[in-house]
Amino acid sequence: MPEPHAPAVILLSGGLDSATVLALANMQGFACHALTVDYGQRHRAELDAAVDVARALGARAHRIIAVDLTGFGGSALTDRAIAVPEAPTQGIPLTYVPARNTIMLSLALAWAEVLDAGDLFIGVNALDYSGYPDCRPEYIAGYERMANLATRAAVEGRSMKIHAPLQHLTKAQIVARGSELGVDFALTVSCYQADASGAACGRCDACRLRSKGFAETGIADPTRYQPRP
Amino acid sequence: MPEPHAPAVILLSGGLDSATVLALANMQGFACHALTVDYGQRHRAELDAAVDVARALGARAHRIIAVDLTGFGGSALTDRAIAVPEAPTQGIPLTYVPARNTIMLSLALAWAEVLDAGDLFIGVNALDYSGYPDCRPEYIAGYERMANLATRAAVEGRSMKIHAPLQHLTKAQIVARGSELGVDFALTVSCYQADASGAACGRCDACRLRSKGFAETGIADPTRYQPRP
Protein backbone atom coordinates (compact mmCIF):
# COMPACT_ATOMS: atom_id res chain seq x y z
CA MET A 1 0.00 0.00 0.00
CA PRO A 2 1.22 3.53 -0.72
CA GLU A 3 1.72 6.29 1.81
CA PRO A 4 -1.77 7.62 2.57
CA HIS A 5 -2.69 10.06 -0.18
CA ALA A 6 0.55 9.60 -2.12
CA PRO A 7 -0.01 11.21 -5.51
CA ALA A 8 -0.30 8.99 -8.56
CA VAL A 9 -0.98 9.77 -12.22
CA ILE A 10 -3.63 7.65 -13.90
CA LEU A 11 -4.02 7.61 -17.69
CA LEU A 12 -7.74 7.91 -18.28
CA SER A 13 -9.07 7.50 -21.81
CA GLY A 14 -12.76 7.52 -20.96
CA GLY A 15 -13.10 3.82 -21.75
CA LEU A 16 -14.06 0.90 -19.57
CA ASP A 17 -10.52 -0.28 -18.80
CA SER A 18 -9.02 3.00 -17.63
CA ALA A 19 -12.13 3.81 -15.55
CA THR A 20 -11.57 0.51 -13.72
CA VAL A 21 -7.90 1.39 -13.24
CA LEU A 22 -8.84 4.76 -11.73
CA ALA A 23 -11.21 3.01 -9.32
CA LEU A 24 -8.46 0.52 -8.38
CA ALA A 25 -5.90 3.27 -7.72
CA ASN A 26 -8.48 5.12 -5.62
CA MET A 27 -9.17 1.98 -3.63
CA GLN A 28 -5.44 1.57 -3.01
CA GLY A 29 -5.39 4.98 -1.33
CA PHE A 30 -3.58 7.05 -3.95
CA ALA A 31 -4.43 10.71 -4.51
CA CYS A 32 -5.43 10.17 -8.12
CA HIS A 33 -4.42 12.68 -10.76
CA ALA A 34 -6.19 11.64 -13.96
CA LEU A 35 -4.59 12.50 -17.30
CA THR A 36 -6.44 12.33 -20.60
CA VAL A 37 -4.63 12.82 -23.88
CA ASP A 38 -6.46 14.45 -26.76
CA TYR A 39 -4.35 13.10 -29.62
CA GLY A 40 -6.85 13.92 -32.33
CA GLN A 41 -8.71 10.62 -31.93
CA ARG A 42 -11.69 10.02 -34.16
CA HIS A 43 -13.89 9.08 -31.21
CA ARG A 44 -14.07 12.51 -29.56
CA ALA A 45 -16.87 11.35 -27.24
CA GLU A 46 -14.31 9.48 -25.13
CA LEU A 47 -12.89 12.85 -24.03
CA ASP A 48 -16.29 13.88 -22.62
CA ALA A 49 -16.58 10.46 -21.04
CA ALA A 50 -13.21 10.93 -19.33
CA VAL A 51 -14.46 14.16 -17.72
CA ASP A 52 -17.56 12.39 -16.41
CA VAL A 53 -15.60 9.37 -15.16
CA ALA A 54 -12.97 11.50 -13.38
CA ARG A 55 -15.74 13.43 -11.63
CA ALA A 56 -17.81 10.36 -10.74
CA LEU A 57 -14.82 8.55 -9.26
CA GLY A 58 -13.59 11.60 -7.35
CA ALA A 59 -10.21 12.11 -8.99
CA ARG A 60 -8.17 14.68 -7.08
CA ALA A 61 -7.40 16.45 -10.37
CA HIS A 62 -8.04 15.87 -14.06
CA ARG A 63 -6.11 17.34 -16.98
CA ILE A 64 -6.72 16.97 -20.68
CA ILE A 65 -3.57 17.61 -22.67
CA ALA A 66 -3.62 18.04 -26.44
CA VAL A 67 -1.00 16.68 -28.80
CA ASP A 68 -2.17 16.48 -32.36
CA LEU A 69 -1.05 13.18 -33.89
CA THR A 70 -3.24 13.60 -36.96
CA GLY A 71 -0.29 15.31 -38.68
CA PHE A 72 1.60 12.01 -38.56
CA GLY A 73 -1.43 9.87 -39.44
CA GLY A 74 -0.78 6.19 -40.03
CA SER A 75 -3.80 4.95 -38.06
CA ALA A 76 -7.54 4.58 -38.55
CA LEU A 77 -7.97 6.51 -35.29
CA THR A 78 -6.05 9.61 -36.41
CA ASP A 79 -6.50 9.61 -40.19
CA ARG A 80 -10.09 9.98 -41.40
CA ALA A 81 -9.04 8.55 -44.77
CA ILE A 82 -8.45 5.13 -43.13
CA ALA A 83 -11.68 3.33 -42.18
CA VAL A 84 -12.05 1.60 -38.82
CA PRO A 85 -12.10 -2.17 -39.52
CA GLU A 86 -15.42 -3.80 -38.69
CA ALA A 87 -14.27 -7.40 -38.97
CA PRO A 88 -11.45 -9.13 -37.07
CA THR A 89 -8.09 -8.71 -38.81
CA GLN A 90 -4.77 -10.55 -38.77
CA GLY A 91 -1.71 -8.99 -37.12
CA ILE A 92 -1.53 -5.45 -35.76
CA PRO A 93 -4.78 -3.74 -36.75
CA LEU A 94 -5.21 -0.42 -38.53
CA THR A 95 -6.49 1.12 -35.29
CA TYR A 96 -2.99 0.90 -33.82
CA VAL A 97 -1.76 4.48 -33.27
CA PRO A 98 2.03 4.65 -33.67
CA ALA A 99 3.76 5.16 -30.31
CA ARG A 100 0.52 6.22 -28.62
CA ASN A 101 1.12 4.57 -25.27
CA THR A 102 4.74 5.75 -25.28
CA ILE A 103 3.58 9.34 -25.81
CA MET A 104 0.81 9.05 -23.20
CA LEU A 105 3.11 7.49 -20.59
CA SER A 106 5.68 10.20 -21.29
CA LEU A 107 3.15 12.94 -20.62
CA ALA A 108 2.11 11.11 -17.45
CA LEU A 109 5.78 10.89 -16.48
CA ALA A 110 6.13 14.66 -16.87
CA TRP A 111 3.16 15.32 -14.59
CA ALA A 112 4.41 12.71 -12.11
CA GLU A 113 7.75 14.49 -11.90
CA VAL A 114 6.09 17.81 -11.16
CA LEU A 115 3.84 16.18 -8.53
CA ASP A 116 6.74 14.19 -7.07
CA ALA A 117 4.70 11.05 -7.70
CA GLY A 118 6.36 7.65 -7.97
CA ASP A 119 3.37 5.81 -9.40
CA LEU A 120 1.80 5.79 -12.88
CA PHE A 121 -1.24 3.72 -13.82
CA ILE A 122 -2.21 2.56 -17.30
CA GLY A 123 -5.06 0.30 -18.35
CA VAL A 124 -3.30 -1.85 -20.92
CA ASN A 125 -4.45 -5.41 -21.26
CA ALA A 126 -2.70 -8.32 -22.90
CA LEU A 127 -5.50 -10.91 -23.02
CA ASP A 128 -8.70 -9.52 -24.55
CA TYR A 129 -6.90 -6.85 -26.58
CA SER A 130 -6.23 -5.85 -30.13
CA GLY A 131 -2.61 -7.00 -30.42
CA TYR A 132 -1.01 -3.58 -30.11
CA PRO A 133 2.78 -3.78 -29.50
CA ASP A 134 2.58 -1.16 -26.76
CA CYS A 135 0.16 -3.20 -24.65
CA ARG A 136 2.55 -6.12 -24.15
CA PRO A 137 3.95 -6.77 -20.66
CA GLU A 138 7.55 -6.67 -21.97
CA TYR A 139 6.91 -3.17 -23.31
CA ILE A 140 5.51 -1.93 -19.99
CA ALA A 141 8.53 -3.39 -18.17
CA GLY A 142 10.85 -1.69 -20.67
CA TYR A 143 9.08 1.63 -20.20
CA GLU A 144 9.47 1.37 -16.44
CA ARG A 145 13.20 0.68 -16.79
CA MET A 146 13.58 3.72 -19.07
CA ALA A 147 11.54 5.93 -16.71
CA ASN A 148 13.90 4.97 -13.93
CA LEU A 149 16.75 6.53 -15.90
CA ALA A 150 14.88 9.57 -17.19
CA THR A 151 13.99 11.81 -14.31
CA ARG A 152 15.22 13.96 -11.47
CA ALA A 153 13.83 11.32 -9.11
CA ALA A 154 15.93 8.67 -10.86
CA VAL A 155 19.10 10.70 -10.33
CA GLU A 156 18.13 11.23 -6.70
CA GLY A 157 17.51 7.51 -6.17
CA ARG A 158 13.71 7.44 -6.04
CA SER A 159 11.95 4.94 -8.25
CA MET A 160 9.00 5.13 -10.63
CA LYS A 161 6.54 2.28 -10.83
CA ILE A 162 4.33 1.70 -13.86
CA HIS A 163 1.19 -0.10 -12.68
CA ALA A 164 -0.73 -2.05 -15.31
CA PRO A 165 -3.22 -3.83 -13.07
CA LEU A 166 -5.41 -5.14 -15.92
CA GLN A 167 -2.55 -6.68 -17.82
CA HIS A 168 -3.42 -10.28 -17.09
CA LEU A 169 -7.21 -10.00 -16.72
CA THR A 170 -9.81 -10.99 -19.29
CA LYS A 171 -12.31 -8.33 -20.32
CA ALA A 172 -14.94 -10.18 -18.27
CA GLN A 173 -12.71 -10.01 -15.20
CA ILE A 174 -12.20 -6.29 -15.78
CA VAL A 175 -15.96 -5.73 -16.01
CA ALA A 176 -16.48 -7.71 -12.81
CA ARG A 177 -13.72 -5.85 -10.95
CA GLY A 178 -14.91 -2.42 -12.08
CA SER A 179 -18.45 -3.31 -11.15
CA GLU A 180 -17.43 -4.36 -7.62
CA LEU A 181 -15.60 -1.02 -7.26
CA GLY A 182 -18.69 0.92 -8.25
CA VAL A 183 -17.61 2.10 -11.71
CA ASP A 184 -20.61 3.40 -13.64
CA PHE A 185 -19.85 1.86 -17.03
CA ALA A 186 -22.72 3.82 -18.58
CA LEU A 187 -20.41 6.84 -18.40
CA THR A 188 -17.62 5.14 -20.37
CA VAL A 189 -17.09 5.08 -24.13
CA SER A 190 -15.00 2.34 -25.76
CA CYS A 191 -16.16 2.48 -29.40
CA TYR A 192 -13.62 3.69 -31.96
CA GLN A 193 -16.36 5.37 -33.95
CA ALA A 194 -18.71 6.52 -31.22
CA ASP A 195 -20.97 9.38 -32.26
CA ALA A 196 -20.91 12.75 -30.52
CA SER A 197 -23.35 11.51 -27.87
CA GLY A 198 -21.09 8.54 -27.09
CA ALA A 199 -23.37 5.96 -28.75
CA ALA A 200 -21.38 2.97 -30.00
CA CYS A 201 -21.23 1.39 -33.46
CA GLY A 202 -21.36 -2.19 -32.16
CA ARG A 203 -19.09 -3.41 -34.97
CA CYS A 204 -15.48 -2.32 -34.28
CA ASP A 205 -12.93 -4.33 -32.34
CA ALA A 206 -13.38 -2.21 -29.21
CA CYS A 207 -17.16 -2.77 -29.29
CA ARG A 208 -16.74 -6.51 -29.81
CA LEU A 209 -14.32 -6.91 -26.89
CA ARG A 210 -16.47 -4.79 -24.58
CA SER A 211 -19.70 -6.57 -25.43
CA LYS A 212 -18.07 -9.98 -24.94
CA GLY A 213 -16.85 -8.85 -21.50
CA PHE A 214 -20.34 -7.99 -20.31
CA ALA A 215 -21.85 -11.11 -21.87
CA GLU A 216 -19.36 -13.38 -20.09
CA THR A 217 -19.97 -11.88 -16.66
CA GLY A 218 -23.71 -11.66 -16.92
CA ILE A 219 -23.52 -8.05 -15.71
CA ALA A 220 -26.04 -5.85 -17.53
CA ASP A 221 -24.36 -4.02 -20.41
CA PRO A 222 -25.31 -0.32 -20.26
CA THR A 223 -23.71 0.52 -23.63
CA ARG A 224 -25.85 2.77 -25.82
CA TYR A 225 -25.72 1.83 -29.49
CA GLN A 226 -26.33 3.93 -32.55
CA PRO A 227 -29.59 3.17 -34.38
CA ARG A 228 -28.93 0.69 -37.19
CA PRO A 229 -29.52 2.23 -40.61
CA MET B 1 26.15 4.03 -43.62
CA PRO B 2 22.37 3.80 -44.09
CA GLU B 3 20.58 2.70 -47.24
CA PRO B 4 20.77 5.70 -49.59
CA HIS B 5 17.99 8.09 -48.62
CA ALA B 6 16.71 5.96 -45.74
CA PRO B 7 14.33 8.16 -43.75
CA ALA B 8 15.39 9.37 -40.32
CA VAL B 9 13.71 11.65 -37.79
CA ILE B 10 15.88 14.42 -36.34
CA LEU B 11 14.79 16.36 -33.27
CA LEU B 12 15.51 19.98 -34.13
CA SER B 13 15.13 22.59 -31.41
CA GLY B 14 16.55 25.52 -33.33
CA GLY B 15 19.70 25.59 -31.20
CA LEU B 16 23.32 25.05 -32.10
CA ASP B 17 23.50 21.38 -31.10
CA SER B 18 20.49 20.05 -32.98
CA ALA B 19 21.44 22.06 -36.09
CA THR B 20 24.79 20.26 -36.04
CA VAL B 21 23.01 16.93 -35.62
CA LEU B 22 20.82 17.65 -38.66
CA ALA B 23 23.92 18.46 -40.71
CA LEU B 24 25.57 15.22 -39.53
CA ALA B 25 22.53 13.10 -40.42
CA ASN B 26 22.38 14.79 -43.84
CA MET B 27 26.06 14.07 -44.38
CA GLN B 28 25.45 10.40 -43.52
CA GLY B 29 22.95 10.20 -46.37
CA PHE B 30 19.67 10.03 -44.45
CA ALA B 31 16.50 11.59 -45.83
CA CYS B 32 16.10 13.95 -42.88
CA HIS B 33 12.68 14.56 -41.39
CA ALA B 34 13.11 17.33 -38.83
CA LEU B 35 10.75 17.47 -35.87
CA THR B 36 10.41 20.50 -33.62
CA VAL B 37 8.31 20.36 -30.48
CA ASP B 38 6.50 23.48 -29.34
CA TYR B 39 6.09 22.61 -25.66
CA GLY B 40 5.29 26.12 -24.52
CA GLN B 41 8.94 27.08 -24.07
CA ARG B 42 9.66 30.58 -22.92
CA HIS B 43 12.16 31.15 -25.74
CA ARG B 44 9.70 31.14 -28.63
CA ALA B 45 12.37 32.45 -31.01
CA GLU B 46 13.93 28.98 -31.16
CA LEU B 47 10.84 27.78 -33.06
CA ASP B 48 11.45 30.36 -35.79
CA ALA B 49 15.12 29.42 -35.76
CA ALA B 50 14.20 25.76 -36.32
CA VAL B 51 12.24 26.70 -39.44
CA ASP B 52 15.23 28.63 -40.82
CA VAL B 53 17.71 25.88 -39.95
CA ALA B 54 15.57 23.11 -41.49
CA ARG B 55 15.28 25.14 -44.69
CA ALA B 56 18.97 26.12 -44.82
CA LEU B 57 20.13 22.53 -44.32
CA GLY B 58 17.65 21.13 -46.83
CA ALA B 59 15.60 18.87 -44.54
CA ARG B 60 13.28 16.64 -46.57
CA ALA B 61 10.38 17.64 -44.33
CA HIS B 62 9.91 19.70 -41.18
CA ARG B 63 7.03 19.46 -38.70
CA ILE B 64 6.33 21.51 -35.61
CA ILE B 65 4.12 19.66 -33.19
CA ALA B 66 2.52 21.38 -30.21
CA VAL B 67 2.12 19.84 -26.78
CA ASP B 68 1.51 22.38 -24.07
CA LEU B 69 3.60 21.51 -21.02
CA THR B 70 2.89 24.84 -19.30
CA GLY B 71 -0.13 23.18 -17.63
CA PHE B 72 2.26 20.93 -15.71
CA GLY B 73 4.83 23.68 -15.03
CA GLY B 74 7.71 22.79 -12.75
CA SER B 75 10.41 24.43 -14.88
CA ALA B 76 11.76 27.91 -15.54
CA LEU B 77 11.24 27.22 -19.24
CA THR B 78 7.52 26.48 -18.98
CA ASP B 79 6.42 28.49 -15.94
CA ARG B 80 6.83 32.27 -16.26
CA ALA B 81 6.69 32.54 -12.46
CA ILE B 82 10.08 30.76 -12.19
CA ALA B 83 13.00 32.96 -13.29
CA VAL B 84 15.76 31.57 -15.52
CA PRO B 85 18.91 31.33 -13.33
CA GLU B 86 21.70 33.66 -14.43
CA ALA B 87 24.44 32.19 -12.28
CA PRO B 88 25.73 28.60 -12.19
CA THR B 89 23.72 26.42 -9.80
CA GLN B 90 24.33 23.15 -7.96
CA GLY B 91 22.49 19.98 -9.02
CA ILE B 92 19.74 19.79 -11.62
CA PRO B 93 18.90 23.38 -12.60
CA LEU B 94 15.50 25.05 -12.65
CA THR B 95 15.59 25.06 -16.46
CA TYR B 96 15.15 21.27 -16.46
CA VAL B 97 11.76 20.50 -18.05
CA PRO B 98 10.29 17.31 -16.54
CA ALA B 99 10.40 14.42 -19.02
CA ARG B 100 11.02 16.77 -21.96
CA ASN B 101 13.41 14.54 -23.89
CA THR B 102 11.22 11.50 -23.21
CA ILE B 103 8.22 13.33 -24.67
CA MET B 104 10.18 14.62 -27.65
CA LEU B 105 11.72 11.23 -28.43
CA SER B 106 8.26 9.66 -28.15
CA LEU B 107 6.84 12.06 -30.72
CA ALA B 108 9.84 11.35 -32.94
CA LEU B 109 9.20 7.63 -32.46
CA ALA B 110 5.60 8.07 -33.64
CA TRP B 111 6.69 9.85 -36.80
CA ALA B 112 9.44 7.28 -37.37
CA GLU B 113 6.86 4.48 -37.19
CA VAL B 114 4.68 6.16 -39.79
CA LEU B 115 7.71 6.79 -42.05
CA ASP B 116 9.03 3.28 -41.47
CA ALA B 117 12.27 4.87 -40.30
CA GLY B 118 14.69 2.98 -38.06
CA ASP B 119 16.80 5.97 -37.04
CA LEU B 120 16.16 8.84 -34.62
CA PHE B 121 18.66 11.62 -33.94
CA ILE B 122 18.86 13.80 -30.83
CA GLY B 123 21.42 16.45 -29.93
CA VAL B 124 21.94 15.61 -26.26
CA ASN B 125 25.35 16.22 -24.82
CA ALA B 126 26.86 14.91 -21.62
CA LEU B 127 30.00 17.05 -21.32
CA ASP B 128 29.28 20.78 -21.67
CA TYR B 129 25.68 20.45 -20.51
CA SER B 130 23.41 21.52 -17.71
CA GLY B 131 23.19 18.25 -15.79
CA TYR B 132 19.75 17.22 -17.01
CA PRO B 133 18.92 13.56 -16.21
CA ASP B 134 17.57 12.98 -19.71
CA CYS B 135 20.82 13.92 -21.40
CA ARG B 136 22.84 11.12 -19.79
CA PRO B 137 24.13 8.27 -22.00
CA GLU B 138 22.48 5.65 -19.76
CA TYR B 139 19.13 7.33 -20.33
CA ILE B 140 19.54 7.36 -24.11
CA ALA B 141 20.49 3.66 -24.04
CA GLY B 142 17.43 2.94 -21.88
CA TYR B 143 15.18 4.83 -24.29
CA GLU B 144 16.54 2.83 -27.22
CA ARG B 145 15.86 -0.45 -25.41
CA MET B 146 12.29 0.66 -24.66
CA ALA B 147 11.73 1.82 -28.25
CA ASN B 148 12.76 -1.62 -29.41
CA LEU B 149 9.81 -3.07 -27.48
CA ALA B 150 7.27 -0.37 -28.32
CA THR B 151 6.52 -0.44 -31.99
CA ARG B 152 5.13 -2.41 -34.88
CA ALA B 153 8.71 -2.59 -36.21
CA ALA B 154 9.83 -4.14 -32.91
CA VAL B 155 7.20 -6.86 -33.19
CA GLU B 156 8.22 -7.48 -36.78
CA GLY B 157 11.90 -7.74 -35.85
CA ARG B 158 13.20 -4.42 -37.18
CA SER B 159 15.25 -2.30 -34.83
CA MET B 160 15.23 1.36 -33.89
CA LYS B 161 18.48 3.20 -33.30
CA ILE B 162 18.69 6.37 -31.23
CA HIS B 163 21.66 8.37 -32.48
CA ALA B 164 23.14 10.89 -30.06
CA PRO B 165 26.25 11.86 -32.00
CA LEU B 166 27.18 14.83 -29.77
CA GLN B 167 27.01 12.86 -26.57
CA HIS B 168 30.72 12.77 -25.92
CA LEU B 169 31.80 16.01 -27.60
CA THR B 170 32.67 19.28 -25.87
CA LYS B 171 30.74 22.36 -26.95
CA ALA B 172 33.91 23.54 -28.76
CA GLN B 173 34.07 20.25 -30.69
CA ILE B 174 30.39 20.63 -31.62
CA VAL B 175 30.99 24.17 -32.90
CA ALA B 176 33.98 22.96 -34.91
CA ARG B 177 32.07 20.00 -36.38
CA GLY B 178 29.02 22.08 -37.28
CA SER B 179 31.22 24.70 -38.84
CA GLU B 180 33.00 22.10 -41.03
CA LEU B 181 29.58 20.86 -42.16
CA GLY B 182 28.49 24.35 -43.15
CA VAL B 183 25.96 25.04 -40.40
CA ASP B 184 25.12 28.75 -40.31
CA PHE B 185 25.13 29.26 -36.55
CA ALA B 186 23.77 32.79 -37.02
CA LEU B 187 20.42 31.13 -37.70
CA THR B 188 20.40 29.22 -34.42
CA VAL B 189 19.05 30.35 -31.03
CA SER B 190 20.29 28.75 -27.81
CA CYS B 191 19.35 31.36 -25.19
CA TYR B 192 16.62 30.38 -22.70
CA GLN B 193 15.33 33.93 -22.63
CA ALA B 194 15.95 35.04 -26.20
CA ASP B 195 13.78 37.95 -27.29
CA ALA B 196 11.31 37.68 -30.17
CA SER B 197 14.06 38.52 -32.67
CA GLY B 198 16.24 35.72 -31.31
CA ALA B 199 18.72 38.05 -29.59
CA ALA B 200 20.36 36.35 -26.60
CA CYS B 201 20.58 37.42 -22.96
CA GLY B 202 24.24 36.43 -22.57
CA ARG B 203 23.70 35.42 -18.95
CA CYS B 204 21.81 32.10 -18.80
CA ASP B 205 23.43 28.67 -18.73
CA ALA B 206 22.70 28.06 -22.42
CA CYS B 207 24.38 31.37 -23.37
CA ARG B 208 27.41 30.65 -21.20
CA LEU B 209 27.95 27.17 -22.68
CA ARG B 210 27.51 28.43 -26.24
CA SER B 211 29.83 31.39 -25.83
CA LYS B 212 32.52 29.20 -24.25
CA GLY B 213 32.25 26.82 -27.23
CA PHE B 214 32.97 29.55 -29.74
CA ALA B 215 35.72 31.08 -27.59
CA GLU B 216 37.54 27.74 -27.30
CA THR B 217 37.53 27.04 -31.04
CA GLY B 218 38.44 30.54 -32.14
CA ILE B 219 35.56 30.41 -34.65
CA ALA B 220 33.80 33.78 -34.87
CA ASP B 221 30.68 33.80 -32.68
CA PRO B 222 27.72 35.14 -34.70
CA THR B 223 25.37 35.31 -31.69
CA ARG B 224 23.32 38.50 -31.51
CA TYR B 225 22.92 39.79 -27.98
CA GLN B 226 20.22 41.99 -26.47
CA PRO B 227 21.37 45.54 -25.69
CA ARG B 228 22.44 45.79 -22.04
CA PRO B 229 20.08 47.99 -20.05
Q: Note whether A149 contacts B: Cβ–Cβ < 8 A.
A: yes
Query: Is B133 in contact with A142 (Cβ distance < 8 A)?
Result: no
What is chain A's pLDDT, residue by residue, as a tens digit (229 residues)? 566 789 999 999 999 999 999 999 999 999 999 999 999 998 899 999 999 999 999 999 999 999 999 989 899 999 989 999 998 888 888 999 999 999 999 999 999 999 999 999 999 998 877 788 999 999 999 999 999 999 998 889 899 999 999 999 999 999 999 999 999 999 999 999 999 999 999 999 999 999 999 999 999 999 999 997 6
CB pairs under 8 A between A and B: 139
Instruction: Nearest by CB to A152, from B96, B143, B150: name it.
Output: B96
At residue A184, the pLDDT reads 98
Chain B CB contacts of A72 below 8 Å: 63, 110-111, 114
Query: Is A66 in contact with B68 (Cβ distance < 8 A)?
Result: yes
Q: Note whether B163 contacts A: Cβ–Cβ < 8 A.
A: no
Chain B CB contacts of A113 below 8 Å: 74, 98-99
Instruction: Nearest by CB to A133, from B99, B145, B154: name it.
Output: B154
Average pLDDT, chain B: 94
The greatest distance separating any two alpha carbons of chain A, rounded to the nearest whole angstrom, comes to 59
Query: Is B67 in contact with A66 (Cβ distance < 8 A)?
Result: yes
At residue B134, the pLDDT reads 92
Check: CB of residue A22 under 8 Å from CB of residue A36.
no
Question: pLDDT at residue B114 above 80?
Answer: yes
In order of B24, B81, B84, the CA distances from B42 in angstroms are: 28, 11, 10
Residue B136's pLDDT band, with cuts at 50, 70 and 90, is very high
At residue B102, the pLDDT reads 97
At residue B55, the pLDDT reads 98
Percent of chain B predicted with pLDDT > 90 = 84
| Cα–Cα distance for residue pair A117/A159, rounded to 1 Å | 10
Chain B CB contacts of A97 below 8 Å: 110
Question: pLDDT at residue B7 above 70?
Answer: yes
At residue B128, the pLDDT reads 76
Most B CBs within 10 Å: which of A11, A78, A146, as the mutation test of the B interface? Answer: A146
Residue B173's pLDDT band, with cuts at 50, 70 and 90, is very high
Query: Is A151 in contact with B92 (Cβ distance < 8 A)?
Result: no
Question: pLDDT at residue B131 above 90?
Answer: no
Question: pLDDT at residue B127 above 90?
Answer: no
Name the nearest CA neighbour of B41 among B73, B11, B9: B73
Q: Could you tell me the sign of the dihedral formed by the alpha carbons of A34, A61, A37, B112, in that order?
A: negative
**For range B149-167, the mean pLDDT:** 94
How far is the alpha carbon of B164 from chain A, nearest alpha carbon, in Å? 15
Q: Note whether A71 contacts B: Cβ–Cβ < 8 A.
A: yes
Q: Compute how many other C-beta atoms are within 10 angstroms of the C-beta atom of residue A141.
A: 14
Percent of chain B predicted with pLDDT > 70 = 98
**For range B72-77, the mean pLDDT:** 91
- Count, residues in chain B: 229
**How many angstroms from the chain centroid is the CA of residue A186?**
16
Q: Note whether A82 contacts B: Cβ–Cβ < 8 A.
A: no
Query: Is B99 in contact with A66 (Cβ distance < 8 A)?
Result: no
**For range B91-112, the mean pLDDT:** 94
Question: pLDDT at residue B199 above 70?
Answer: yes
Q: Tell me if the domain spanning A7-217 has CATH number 3.40.50.150.
A: no
Question: pLDDT at residue B2 above 70?
Answer: no
pLDDT tens digits for range B23-59: 999 999 999 999 999 999 988 999 999 999 999 999 9
Side chain identity at residue A196, one-letter code = A
Chain A CB contacts of B65 below 8 Å: 67-68, 71
Give every strand in the sheet of B119-121, ordered side by side.
B61-66, B31-38, B7-11, B119-121, B161-163
User: For the stretch B128-162, what's the b/e string if a residue is b when 16 or more beta carbons lie within 10 angstroms of its beta carbon?
Assistant: bbbebbbbbeebbebbbbbbbbbbbbbbeeeebeb
Q: Compute how many other C-beta atoms are within 10 angstroms of the C-beta atom of residue B228.
A: 7
How far is the alpha carbon of A192 from chain B, nearest alpha carbon, in Å? 20
How far is the alpha carbon of A28 from chain B, nearest alpha carbon, in Å? 24
Residue B1's pLDDT band, with cuts at 50, 70 and 90, is low
Domain residues of chain B, as ranges? 7-217
Question: pLDDT at residue B180 above 90?
Answer: yes
